Amino acid sequence: MSTEETTALILASASPQRRAILEQLGVAFEIRPAGVAEETTGAPAAVALANAVRKAAAVAEGAPGRTVVGVDTLVATEEGIWGKPAGEEEALAVLRHLAGRTHEVHSGLAVVEAGATRTATEVTRVAFRALDEAGLAWYVDAGEWRGRAGGYAIQGRGAALVRRIEGDYLNVVGLPVAALIDLLPSVLAYGTGR
């Protein structure tokens, strides 16, 4: 194991969005997806946090002495949690439901370090514009909904769906940086030197 591998932060996620955010910050990290089953029902903040803890704990078991970050992000309305659509029809149905309404994006964060687990949650409110069938088809046809909670990516074409947000934009992308720094102030010490 190289010195870089033993000093780099471990991100218990395969999310390309989370990877891009940490790279943008200049954080040295290693990707180790947890591969654990995720909860999908319950109070949104509690579900996101439980999933984040489960991910971080699973990866930390195989990485003693390392700092592991687990994150889970989900979209919720009064009707419940909206996961990743399985296909185009489901993506259309989710986006029809979100159109013209405000929903919440919840993230749970868990840091396992020196045998201790610290946690935090973040919520951002996102208001969608009213969307007609042509606008929905335009978005779904682009395929950006694949693998995205709530069926959209705010950092891509999904920006055209949004009227306004209240809270942390990066939380909607998939990693609430301010909450992560509050939870793990040393995260920026994992610099890549770039």
Burial 92-119 (b: 16+ CB within 10 A, else e): bebbebbeeeebbbbbbbbbbbeeeeeb
State yes or no: is 72 an active-site residue: yes
Cα separation, 74 vs 171, whole angstroms: 10
Please pick, among 72, 132, 168, 182, the residue that the annotation labels catalytic. 72
Write the CA distances from 88 to 43, 103, 125, 141, 145, integer angstroms. 27, 21, 25, 8, 8
Active site residues: 72
